[in-house]
Chains A and B, each alone.
Chain A
Amino acid sequence: MIDEPPGRLDEGALRTLVPGVLAGLVRRGEDFDAAEDALQEALLEALRVWPEHPPRDPRAWLATVATRRLVDARRSEAARHRREEATYAEPRPAATEEGDDTLFLLFCCCHPDLAPASQVALTLRAVGGLTTREIADAFYVPEATMAQRISRAKRTLRGRRLDQPGDLAVVLRVLYLIYTAGHAGRVDLAGEAIRLARQLTLATEEPEARGLLALMLLNHARLPARLDPEGRIVTLDRQDRGLWDTREIAEGVRVLQSALAMQTEERRPGRYQVEAAIAALHDDAASAEETDWPQILAWYDDLVALTDDPVRRDPAAVLGRAVAIGHVLGAAAGLRETDRLREVLGERHRWHAVRGHLHELSGDLPAAATAYAEAARRATDVAERDHLVRRAARARAADRTQ
């Protein structure tokens, strides 16, 4: 650090320090809410000061400044017992301790009593080390709104026991929410979710954590090909596969294999591993025509088997399976499969879009155009709406020239 030229600040490195420092403060007996606020102030201070005056020990610097803020806060509240300001310069912890810190904080932030939006915001701040401003920007809400959401979330946590192991399934869901929110905004939330999932895999042996990391990597690898230079959506079958990030694919496959290797008869792969396997098969095809649809269908069979009553409880999986059926057994079979979902998904754009795709596959262009137009009318995303309108117009035009 000391050799770095002034004016350049590695914000990524700064943010990796956050979980350790915060967990240290909380373990020392500080209130989670107050400690998190104090650390946020210390972070903002670091962003201001470090470019000119890089600290010798960044972690100790953050801990010291956060502690000072805590002491100031207590003083101004005329707190009952004033502690001495302590310089907090413990040795750097070993990797396992850091992993424990991350897991401990993720359990706090993803407490089941919090609403998903609060879990996401708190995780990004307390574990991800993002500023309130950055989180607000990522979700296109005013900074004051996001600040309020975070402080309300922390108020909800007050009085809850935070030393119990939490619900890992909730943590995984929150990280995936962060990932899926992260394709459009000014802050790279997808990258942030991957970073957090990577930290999580260091903290737990749970194969589903690795499954989630693999799923994110294998999807993220295709990101550079998902939009053309004009910002138009390019579907998987038309993407320039040369733009896919082969390094990310290789890492995703490696992580997935390490997760699948842990399965036993009693412990079958969970949904993130299964979805990652499907993503890996797509990534593995050199061209759309070479996609191994029978294998994909087999994984979809596993996916829908994870849920009782999948039509109602996991319709997205059933819909994905219908596409695979369309490619393996023919479009008509795929369409019949989507019929089962009409009652549950009939008002959702994705159901109509999948039917448009299957009609196109079967060569019924007028039906495809109608389905795409129906999908466009129900879309809730501008880029997706525009994409579906284009598909409808193109299907109609192709029908006219036939």
Chain B
Amino acid sequence: MPKYLLLKHYRGGPEPHRPVPPMDQWAPEDVEAHMAFLRHVSELLEEHGEYVDAQALTPARTWVRYGGPDAAPVTTDGPLPETSDLVAGWYMIDVESHERALELAAYVSSEPGPGGEPLYEWIDVREVMSEGAPND
């Protein structure tokens, strides 16, 4: 079965379908509904036997590269264009098919936002390369 990453982003990706303010500006009950939905997604994936992993990333980012012989690593955290991709976290799933991965991603994207309306958040779906030739 192929594995997929369903990536959520802090920023980057296609034009938002529906612009929303940051979550701390939502009504408290909308925040609760949103968080409850995300808990429910993990439970659902586990129940279906499709869950592998789910992680969140902090928004802090540092770019680093080799500095050359006897030199310290070179780092930078900007300036970067405001539109640059910033991954917020992921679900890793193990599913029957690409179609199933898209279906689950769309379900994640239906998570409730302000006023209980779906967020229509863009989810970045990436297939994980398998290792070792299949055994047939």
Q: Give chain A's interface residues, CB within 8 Å of chain B.
A: 230-231, 369, 372-373, 376-380, 382, 385-386, 389-390, 392-394, 396-397
Contact = CB atoms under 8 A, between A and B. Distances in A.
Contacts, number: 36
A386 B35 contact: yes
Interface in B28-77: 28, 30-32, 35-36, 39, 56, 58-60
B2 to A, nearest CB: 22
A397 B45 CA distance: 33
A231 B39 contact: yes
Residues of B contacting A: mostly: helix
A382 B27 contact: no
Contact of B31 (A230, A377, A393): A393
Contact of B23 (A231, A379, A393): A393
Given A379-B58, A390-B32, A373 B22 contact: yes
Contacts of B24: 369, 372-373, 376, 389, 392-393, 396
Nearest to A390: B31
Nearest to B31: A393
A230 B39 contact: yes
Which of B27, B28, B39 neighbours the largest number of chain A CB atoms within 10 Å of its CB? B28
16 contacts: A230-B36, A230-B39, A231-B39, A376-B24, A382-B56, A385-B56, A386-B35, A389-B23, A390-B32, A392-B24, A393-B23, A393-B24, A393-B27, A394-B28, A396-B24, A397-B27
A126 B36 CA distance: 41
A390 B30 CA distance: 10
Contacts of B25: 393, 396
Nearest to A377: B59
A203 to B, nearest CB: 40
A376 B23 CA distance: 10
Given A376-B24, A396-B25, 7 more contacts: A230-B39, A373-B22, A373-B24, A378-B58, A385-B56, A390-B32, A396-B24
B26 interface: yes
A386 B31 CA distance: 9
A386 B23 CA distance: 10
Interface string B78-111: 0000000000000000000000000000000000
A286 to B, nearest CB: 29
Contacts of B27: 393, 397
B111 to A, nearest CB: 14
Contacts of B58: 378-380
Nearest to B10: A377
Nearest to A232: B35
Nearest to B35: A386
B81 to A, nearest CB: 20
Contacts of A369: 24
A235 B27 CA distance: 21
Nearest to A398: B28
Nearest to B60: A378
A372 B24 CA distance: 9
Contacts of A382: 56
B94 to A, nearest CB: 17
A274 B9 CA distance: 44
A397 B31 CA distance: 12
A227 to B, nearest CB: 13
A230 B31 CA distance: 14
